[in-house]
Structure 1
Amino acid sequence: MLIAKIIENDQLIQATQANNSEIYYCPGCKARVQLKKGNINIPHFAHINESNCDVSAEGETVNHLQGKLALFALFIQKYDEVRLEPWLSQIKQRPDLIVRKGMNWFVIEFQCAPISLEKVQARTSGYRQLNYKVIWILGENYQRKRLQARTFAKFTVIYQQQLQVAFWQLTRGLFWQAWWQLDGKSRVLNRQLVDNQPQQLLKLQQAVIQAKPEIWSIQNELYKIKRLVIGIPWECHPQYPLPGGLKVAQWQVIVRVLLTLEKQPRTMLQLLKIMTEFPWQRFECISVKKVQKLWLNYLLDDLMSRGLIKRTGDTIVLARTLKWFNTYQEKLQVLLKIDTTNFR
């Protein structure tokens, strides 16, 4: 830990400012802690005896300690108030940082080691009791391999109207990664046009041949109206990456939305109900309802840009007839004849 308490005057002090002449105590459990300051390790405090203290940060790596100090130095330049490792007695938790901008308070958790969904949920829930917004910043350990979607979802927030996670590197500082950039290696870019329609079609064909369970419901629904999964309109294949968070392929939701609009115009609220029919990742820092609304807005904006739908107030209307196909070959042939400008 980087903060300890001097019992005599109830003063909190950072390890970088402490000296061995004082006696220090843990702000949480009140047990004795020892100042560790040398030529190699970052100055910090550690419990003298083994402790079950909930706020103890024993075992913190040098990268974790360095990162916290660097984030503290960064945020103190940008926020009205920054507190390092404050002890929140009401919930018995000690976040890495809390920062204030105007009337808004944020908890910053700098996470380097793996952490379970349950622990993220418990800690985030505690901070919400105090009306703090929570941002998890992931250290370099999370950037050495491609993140699984369920891992990404634990720490995701809506930032700049995208689903993103914050990362920290000693050489790069603080940066954000969008959902479709799960490898954590490149900076967030503007959404780029997807240029892999033939690959999308092939993947769909393989899913049909393999009779994957996740497409059974949509397949049965289409059979009833004498249509085929493989023959879904090209507009159902996303031309831009959508925000993310779904546990099924994006085309399934797009098909369901367009089938609904084929029957009659729908309101945003009615289309949002469709979003709830699909499985989503478990989010802890934001509600899944906000993710679904963001996702639907992206989709509708894309469909509108292609002239497929139009809005009248809160009502969404299908603007032109959809082209369905009977075979894989017919669908692919049509794509090859389409001017690529139609996908821009």
Structure 2
Amino acid sequence: MFIAKTKEDNHLIEATQANHLQSYYCPACNERVRLKKGEINVPHFAHIVGSFCSASSEGETSIHLQGKLALFELFRKQYDEVRLEPWLSKIKQRPDLMLRKGNQWFVIEFQCATISIKNVQKRTKGYQQLKLKVIWILGEPYQKKRLQAGTLAKFAVIRERQLQIAFWQQEKGIIWHAWWQIDGKTKLLKRQVIHNQEQQLLKLQQAIIQSKPEIRVIQNELYHMKRFVIGIPWACHPQYPLPGGLKCAQWQVIVYILLALEKQPLTIAQLIIILTKQTWRQFGCVSIQAVQEMWLNYLLADLMSNKLLKKVADKMVLVKPLEWYETYQEKLQLKP
């Protein structure tokens, strides 16, 4: 950490201004800390081995310290006020940075080490109690490997009407990556037309042959209606990627939505209930309800642009009967 205090007057001091003749203490736990200041390491304070501080969630590496300082310098040029490692006594948390623009305060957590989603949720909830917006920025260690969907959900926020994750790169600064998915799996950075509906159908055919459990469940429901999974409407194979977050295939959710709309027009709130019954990732920084609403809004907009749905008063209504197919070959031949 870069900030410690003196025991005599609780004066806060930065590591760059400290000297080895003075004793320093952690503002959070009041334990003695050691000044590490030399020709190689970035000047900083460290807890003495064996001490425990609930505010110190990770052992700070050189990469973390240097990145935090770089972000501090970057934000100083962009915001009215920047605080380095402020101790928030009310929630007993110490964010890496606090930024102010006008009357709005933001919290920055610069993350380089592995952290559990429970800790991300706990820290985020703490800041939200103080009405602080929080952004988790991922450092270099997170950029050396392909991030799994669970990690993306852990740090994603809703920005510019999409799920986005922030990364820090020394050369480029803060980089935002969007998170879109095709069929609930393949990750994309942009929302653009995808011409792979036939490939989606082929993957569905393979899943049916493999008799995957999720296929058997929905197949049993369709069987009683004298319908087949392979014959679901082409609208269930999206032409545009949808926001990330689903653990199941997107076509399954779209099927349930269209089946419900075949029975009767439904409000957005009623359609959201269908989404809550599906399997979603655990999110660390944003509510699952907000993700579900955003996901549904994109889907409905796509279906309306294809003249399949329309909104009447406060309800979504099917414009025309859905086309269901009996075989793989028939479906390919009758593709719109």
| Same-fold call, TM cutoff 0.5 | yes
Is the alpha carbon distance of 1:289 and 1:58 closer, same or farther for their aligned partners in structure 2, counting shifts above 3 Å? closer
Distance 1:48 1:249, change over 3 A: closer
Task: Specify the alignment match of 2:3 in structure 1.
Answer: 3
Task: Please show how residues 1-344 of structure 1 align to structure 2 within 5 Å.
Answer: 1-56=1-56, 59-180=59-180, 190-335=190-335, 338=336
Q: Secondary structure at the match of 1:98?
A: strand
Q: Give the SS at the match of 1:122.
A: helix
Contact 1:46 1:58 in 2 (8 A): no
2:59 corresponds to which letter in structure 1?
Answer: G
Unaligned 5+ runs, structure 2:
183-187
Residue aligned with 1:67, SS:
helix
1:301 deviates by: 0.8
Could you tell me how far apart the structure 2 residues matched to 1:140 and 1:180 are?
Answer: 22
Contact residue 264 and residue 317 of structure 2 kept, 8 A: yes
Normalized against structure 2, the TM-score is what? 0.92
Equivalent pairs: percent with the same residue? 66
Which SS does the other structure have where 1:107 is aligned? strand
Q: Is the 8 A contact 1:47 1:58 kept in 2?
A: no
Equivalences, count: 331
1:78 alignment partner, SS class: coil
Cα distance in 2, alignment partners of residues 113 and 285 from structure 1: 17
Contact 1:154/1:284 (<8 A) preserved: yes
Tell me: CA distance 1:255–1:162, structure 2 relative to 1, closer, same or farther (3 Å).
Answer: same
Judge conservation of contact 2:180–2:190 (CA < 8 Å) in 1: no
Q: Matched residues in 1 for 2:231 and 2:94: separation? A: 55
What amino acid maps onto 1:83 in structure 2?
R
Distance 1:59 1:212 in 2: 43
- 1:185 maps to none
**CA–CA distance in structure 2, aligned partners of residues 58 and 124 of structure 1:** 16
Give the distance between the partners of 1:169 and 1:196, measured in 2 at CA: 33
d(CA) in 1 for partners of 2:76, 2:310: 46
Residue type of the alignment partner of 2:53 = C
Q: Spell out, residue by residue over 1:99-122, the C-alpha distance to the aligned partner (whole angstroms, 9 max, x if none).
A: 233333322111101111222233
Q: Which amino acid in structure 2 is aligned with residue 84 of structure 1?
A: L
Q: 1: CA distance between counterparts of 2:265 and 2:242? A: 23
Q: Which amino acid aligns with 1:155?
A: F
Point out the more displaced range, 56-65 or 112-121. 56-65
Q: Distance in 2 between matches of 1:283 and 1:58?
A: 21
| Displacement after TM superposition at 1:80 (Å) | 2.8
Could you tell me how far apart the structure 1 residues matched to 2:102 and 2:204 are?
50
5+ residue gaps in structure 1? 183-187, 339-344
SS at 1:246's partner residue? coil
